[in-house]
Structure 1
Amino acid sequence: MVNILINDIVPIIVIMALGYVCGKFSYFDDDQRQGLNKVVLNIALPAALFVSIIKATREMLAQDATLTAIGFIGVIVMFMVCYYLCRLLFHRSIQEAAVAALIAGSPTIGFLGFAVLDPIYGDTVSTNLVIAIISIVVNAVTIPIGMYLINLGQAKDRAKLSAEAVVDVKGDVTVDPSKDAKADKDAELLVHGSSNAGKKKNGNLQALLNALKQPVCWAPLLAIILVLLGVHVPDQVAPTFDLIAKANSGVAVLAAGLALSTVKFSLGWETIWNTFFRLILTPAVFLGVGLLCGMGSDPDKISMLVMAVALPPAFSGIIISSRYNIYVKEGASTTAVSTVVFAVTCLLWIWLVPFCVH
């Protein structure tokens, strides 16, 4: 356990602190910070997601149907629960709640999965299976859902602003017919450019298409399609993706520190709730469901599953938050607090799962 803290948790905190200091001393300006985010979101992160998923096989997914079902359904359900609770409890917009779910509702399985689970449970087939399943659903399902919701929320906001502008134009009192005609023309253009305002079906489709255009969405989806089709990517190709993928974690953590430096650190109720949801509530739900589904007969496997979903927030969430300037303050604060608190909750779940099983 000491090795996990020293080798995995401490480097995250140190690099995040380095990013924070760099931000406070203006070592990076706004354009450079956004450039870092763009490199991670559009190049390094898609490559890392593709590499992590393509290593799985159809046989691996079919090896344990119960584990696969709980992993896929559980992560998606908890992601959506996080989204709706954020909307309900804190009255956040669609895109803010989507980013909150990407952060508080998703574990950083790609970065810490092997680093945490291997030293505790060993480098076994079961360990690789758990990490592969959670990695696939987090990277190939929840990220596209989150991006879709962000695009949907932004489209609705643009439509609302356009509608308000149309009302303002229509509400101008004038006696000049030519001005009235111009106002009608302006209103027509505003409505036309508002992402199909008033047409929910078309708006949803456009939001989905916009999300799928992002490399962070189509790269993991392409990988899962190749896995399901049984297409094996030659091992010689892996180093090409690995080289840029290795830059993802370090730059993502540094960017999280930079994002935190641009806002006032917050330890309010929302940050506390997000931390509780990520580190306590989510693994507790998985533990309960796993026991109900009969996984108690294999204590190590259910413990691996719980630990995999008890990891700190996915760094992809904070990168998306910073890139689109959505939920930055709360997202960065949640990432920082959760990473530190994980040092305690990790020990808690290592002790508690065997106790509950027996």
Structure 2
Amino acid sequence: MSVFLTSVSSIVVIVLIMALGFLLRKFRWFGDDFAKSISGLITKIALPASIFVSVQKHLTRSSLVGLGKGLIFPALGVIIGYLIAWLVVKVLKVRPGRRGIMMNAIVNANTIFIGMPLNMALFGTKSMADFLIYYVINTVSTWAFGVFLIYNDDPTADKDSKKKHKISLQKLLPMPLVGFVVAIIWLLLGLPSSKPDFLFQTLGYVGNLVTPLSLIYIGVVLCDAGLKNFKFDRDSIIALLGRFVLSPLVLILLIKFGAPVLHFDLPRLMQQTLIVQSATPMLAVLPVLAGEAHGDVEYATNVVVMSTVLFIVVVPVLMGILQFI
């Protein structure tokens, strides 16, 4: 029961912050350009800072090296997830502006804000090392590959020949990826993970803006689009099925059938942790990334809100499945 309440508590916090953004926009505290302005702050400044600080906080050089064979299965799960998502997008002829969003929605999870509290409630601090395995894979998947799918799905690119042929440094090396690469190099060099104090405190404060600003951004988009326009359309249902059914199912099959073939004896706690993380809701920052790439922000907002709210139903089902893992 405490696990369920922990999950509900996390979701209520998310919904309340989105509601705050909705109301502030409705009462015109935010201007028409607010969402566009804030997206740049989130993706180019706050996200790199957040990723850098998170890596320093949750990883050490020894723990990074010690992740070892546990990385193989979530990595394979992500690769298979992308392949299936790509096939779905092609077969169903998903329109430009939604393709990259859908593939990210299916494959990448909200590991920090929802996944980590849920994991701690389920398994305690002893599961932290196993949680980091999925965190690393999810971070690399999102910022080394997933973000490119969104940027390259810009529906306005074909209308502007100059933009089409221009090599964008931002697309080639997005700032969140820069933050992750710098963090890993910092870690491998054995540099202090909390010194100098003023630098890490500054990065920590700026990085902490990501989640609340992303959720406020979602609330603003909800207000501008109108709640009545958010519904379970075909593309939303596919994204939700991919996130809550396909991703955990692929990982379960890989662990149950792949581990024996490779002669890997994965601890039960590691198996359960990886499966739990694979079924967490979509990234809160997804609508922000969609806005940066001129994608379908309303669709991105739709699937993020739906996946977050529906996670209340997913948690009990997930807890039942874990009994057989």
TM-score when normalising by structure 1 = 0.78
Percent of residue pairs bearing the same amino acid type? 21
1:107, 1:310 within 8 Å by CA — same for their partners in 2?
Answer: yes
TM alignment of 1:122-133, pairs within 5 A: 122-124=124-126, 127-133=127-133
Q: Stretches of 4+ moved more than 4 A in 1?
A: 228-232, 294-297
Report how far residue 47 of structure 1 moved: 1.1
Q: 2:288 aligns with which of 319, 322, 326?
A: 319
- Distance change in 2, residues 1:75/1:233 (3 Å): same
| Cα distance, 1:35–1:320 mapped onto 2, change above 3 Å | same
Flag the 1:336–1:4 CA change in 2: closer, same or farther, 3 A: same
Give 5+ residue unaligned stretches, structure 2. none
Which has more helix, going by share of residues? 1
Q: What's the offset of the Cα at 1:42?
A: 1.7
Aligned to 2:307: 338
- Aligned to 1:226, which of 175, 182, 186? 186
Cα distance, 1:157 vs structure 2: 5.9
Alpha-carbon distance, 1:22 to partner: 3.1
1:73 to 73, 76, 93: 76
Q: 1:344 to 1:281 in 2, by over 3 A?
A: same
**Who is 2:145 aligned against?**
145
Report the equivalent of 2:243. Answer: 278
- How many angstroms apart in 1 are the aligned matches of 2:63 and 2:187? 10
Point out the structure with max Rg over C-alpha. Answer: 1
Counterpart Cα distance in 1 of 2:248 and 2:299: 22
Q: Which residue of 2 aligns with 1:239?
A: 201
How many Å separate the matches in 1 of 2:151 and 2:267?
42
> Which stretch shows the higher mean deviation, 29-38 or 77-86?
77-86
User: Cα distance, 1:80 vs. partner?
Assistant: 4.5
Partners of 2:87 and 2:19 in 1: CA distance: 31
- In structure 2, distance between residues paired with 1:211 and 1:265: 29
Residue 63 in structure 1 maps to residue 66 in structure 2 = yes
CA change 1:75–1:88 in 2 (3 A) is: same
| Structure 2 match to 1:255 | 217
Distance 2:7 2:101 in 1: 27
CA 351–65 in structure 1, closer or farther in 2 if over 3 Å, else same: same
TM-score (norm. length: structure 2)? 0.85
> Is the contact between residue 281 and residue 307 of structure 2 (CA under 8 Å) also seen in structure 1?
yes
| C-alpha RMSD of matched pairs (Å) | 2.6
Query: What is the alpha-carbon distance in structure 2 between the residues aligned to residue 79 and residue 287 of structure 1?
Result: 16
Q: 1:265 aligns with which of 212, 215, 230?
A: 230
8 Å CA contact 2:7–2:114 kept in 1: the answer is: no
Q: CA deviation at 1:297?
A: 5.7
Question: Matched residues in 2 for 1:52 and 1:285: separation?
Answer: 27
The corresponding residue for 1:328 is 297
> Which structure 2 residues correspond to residues 1-358 of structure 1 after superposition, within 5 A?
1-55=3-57, 56-93=59-96, 95-124=97-126, 127-154=127-154, 158=157, 160-161=158-159, 193=162, 195-196=164-165, 206=167, 209-235=169-195, 236=197, 237-263=199-225, 264-292=229-257, 293-294=259-260, 298-355=267-324, 357=325
Unaligned stretches of 5+ residues in structure 1: 163-189, 197-202
Judge conservation of contact 1:266–1:329 (CA < 8 Å) in 2. Answer: no
Q: How many angstroms apart in 2 are the aligned matches of 1:110 and 1:63?
A: 21
Task: Return the letter of the residue paired with 1:214.
Answer: P
On the 8 A contact 2:110/2:282 being kept in 1, the answer is yes
State the distance in 1 between where 2:184 and 2:78 align: 16
